[in-house]
Amino acid sequence: MREDPRPDPLSLESLSPARLEPGSVALLGGGPGAFDLLTVRALALLRQADVVVVDRLGPARLTDLLDAHVEVIGVGKTPGSHSMRQGEIEQVLVAKALEGKRVVRLKGGDPFVLGRGGEEVLACRAAGVPVQVVPGVTSSIAGPAAADIPVTHRGTAVAVHIVNAHGDLGPADLAALRDPGTTTVLMMGVEWLPRLVAQALLNGIDPATPVAVVQNATTPQQRAVRGTVGTIEEIVRSEGIGFPSVIVIGRTAAEGFLEPESPEAPVAAGALEGSGRQALDAGLEAAGAEAPARTGRVPVLIGCSHGTRSREGRDVLRALLRRIAQHAPGEVREAFVDVQSPDVAAVVAGHAQLTATRTREAESVQAVVVPLLLSLGYHVKDDIGGAVAGRAAIAAAPLGPDPRLAEVMAQRLDEAGLRPEDTVVMAGSGTRDPEGVAQVHEMARLLSEQIGREVTTGFAYAARPSVAEAVAAAHGRSGADCEGRVVVASYVLAPGHFHDLVAAAGADVVAAPLGDHELVAQIALERYETALGA
């Protein structure tokens, strides 16, 4: 029997005419991990490479199958460590191409979906190196799909929101989480899941919202767990789910969504009309779904902190708010003055009507802003005062001065190793407000009573003496021959700019900030109740 001389129309050579020329770079999206999810074009170019610069994610093990003459350069990143900086990766691509090599940059997923592919294209073109881009199957879509989670489904989800989850959720991310018609996919976020959950809950995301986490999607090691915003943190911890994972939040992530007999199954297509938002509205109506509503008449507690660019500081503030929420009679929300969102005025506006529109006297107070600030000043009087003015909201007193804060500071001093011969300076963040300054001095008096020794006061900014001046004066009183140290009690709530100023003031030892502490939460709850006249 004569063989058919015609080429196989489904062969790699027939399907892809792509060429990788010497002195050029091909930026390949390698897909989510499974070898057979690499595109035909990507495979064709990979087989032509002299050099392959490869990430740790995606089909990285494909490089084990390349010819021996191919140079493989691993530049993969892992959480908390980087084997090669982004700028260094770009330098390698350019240098190898300028040597006349055919260079493949093999990336996981799609190079332009949270893959820094655009940066690498720009670097190559700036150096005069020709570069081509091959799209890949993004893990943000394939990861959920591999676990039977459609990111869109007529009548249930009409939009997808993809987030780099390394940092805080932004306003657009929180809006997507609130929208019942949007599926939110959090990439690279499993390590930060406690932070993401805390922020979501403190911004009013329904704790019953379905969540799925898919680890090692499309590979033989794939694992998936499901829960809700309120339960997923513990589920992931107990099941040992780790990196790399995709987090999916929305109604299509519910257990049994694609099981016809499941109570979580979507409305049958025959009950829907139209497409997009029209079908979504019909699906919600057919399912009997309602928008979440506040229960009862208990005023919401808005914990308002000074914003911080410190990730550690934000974590401390949210841990404290979650501790407060465990004992609060109603809902608890986060808000900030300066630096960070959500702004306190916006949060108050979202929970308290304008006073002119109130219809019931019983609802005269709908929100109480509890300043998670330690003394009076501009932020309490102007920012928070302005936020509640003209609305069905009131502002509570700041946390300090209070003897329990002295108790917490004494504990932090003990943890820092305070010795009997040491001199103590209490450092406040600072304010130009005379009442606020007096409150800080009163707090120093309370701390002095608590620890049974003299405590002087310094301020990180605005007021005098500065912390540096107070520390220098304490060193002068101690004398060069004194064995005692100057130890600073940090009268700030969380790590951040003000604590950094305190730490740089020249003391021998600086105690930790007040932080997430049961006594601090207790004071905040009392301020809330006192504001309501309880």
**pLDDT tens digits in sequence order for the chain, 534 residues long:** 556 667 888 888 888 999 999 999 999 999 999 999 999 999 999 999 999 999 888 788 888 889 999 999 999 766 555 578 999 999 999 999 999 999 999 999 999 999 999 999 999 999 999 999 999 999 999 999 999 999 999 999 999 999 999 889 999 999 999 999 999 999 999 999 999 999 999 999 999 999 999 999 999 999 999 999 999 999 999 999 999 999 999 999 999 999 987 777 776 665 666 677 777 766 565 555 443 444 457 999 999 999 999 999 999 999 999 999 999 999 999 999 998 899 999 999 999 999 876 555 445 899 999 999 999 999 999 999 999 999 999 999 999 999 999 999 999 999 999 999 999 999 999 899 999 999 999 999 999 999 999 999 999 988 999 999 999 999 987 655 567 899 999 999 999 999 999 999 999 999 999 999 999 999 999 999 999 997
Question: Exactly one of 55, 315, 402, 422 is catalytic; which is it?
Answer: 55
The SS3 call for residue 332 is: strand
- Please say if 382 is a catalytic residue: no
Is residue 321 within a helix (H) or strand (E), and if so which, with residue range?
helix 311-327
Phi (first) and psi of residue 141, to 5 degrees: -105, -45
> Got the DSSP string for 268-290?
PGGG--SSHHHHHHHHHHHHT--
- Please say if 1 is a catalytic residue: no
pTM (2 decimals)?
0.88
Is residue 184 within a helix (H) or strand (E), and if so which, with residue range?
strand 182-187
Strands 245-249 and 210-215: antiparallel
In angstroms, the first-to-last Cα distance of the chain is: 97
387 close to 345: Cβ distance less than 8 angstroms: yes
Q: CA 373, 375, 378: angle at the middle one, nearest 5?
A: 85
Bond prior to 342 in cis (omega within 30° of 0) = yes
Give pLDDT, residue 9: 86
Within 295-390, strands assigned E span 300-306, 332-337, 367-371
Q: Which residue has the tokens 């300054």?
A: 437
- Please say if 107 is a catalytic residue: no
Q: What is the DSSP letter of 432?
A: S
Question: Exactly one of 96, 107, 188, 422 is catalytic; which is it?
Answer: 188
Distances (CA, A) of 128 to 73, 74, 98, 436: 22, 24, 9, 60
Question: Exactly one of 77, 148, 338, 508 is catalytic; which is it?
Answer: 77
